[in-house]
């Protein structure tokens, strides 16, 4: 499973903690998209998949490479089954 490391990048930043809305506005993306990526969340049982344009905006903001935004984590069989069930439910 691919996870976003946005929370890791945010904790490395110095200064005051910004709200999701303010940070999203500075980056130029929706606050819900930023939140879903940061929490590795899903919408209607489907994982959020950002566009390349969104990834580019994140790279520009954090001054990083795309690989700095993502990490691969092996998903358990149980979690795969739950994700598949949720995906069918919301299809």
Mean pLDDT by 10 residues, the chain (91 residues): 86 70 92 88 75 95 93 81 71 57
Predicted local distance difference test score (pLDDT) of residue 45:
63
Predicted local distance difference test score (pLDDT) of residue 13:
67
Predicted local distance difference test score (pLDDT) of residue 91:
57
Burial 33-58 (b: 16+ CB within 10 A, else e): bbbbbbebeeeeeebbebeeebbebb
Judge whether 46 and 90 are in contact, CB under 8 Å. Answer: yes
Which value, to the nearest 10 degrees, does the dihedral of the CA atoms of residues 9, 40, 73, 10 take? Answer: 10
Predicted local distance difference test score (pLDDT) of residue 30:
92
CATH class of 2-89: mainly alpha
The residues spanned by each domain of the chain are 2-89
Predicted local distance difference test score (pLDDT) of residue 14:
58
């Amino acid at each position: 499973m691919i996870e976003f490391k946005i929370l890791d990048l945010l904790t490395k930043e110095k200064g005051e903690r910004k709200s999701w809305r303010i940070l999203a506005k500075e980056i130029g993306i929706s606050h819900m998209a930023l939140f879903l990526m940061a929490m590795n969340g899903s919408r209607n049982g489907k994982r959020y998949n950002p566009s390349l344009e969104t990834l580019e905006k994140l790279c520009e903001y954090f001054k990083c490479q795309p690989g700095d935004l993502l990490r691969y984590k092996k998903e358990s069989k149980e979690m795969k089954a739950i994700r598949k069930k949720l995906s069918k439910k919301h299809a």
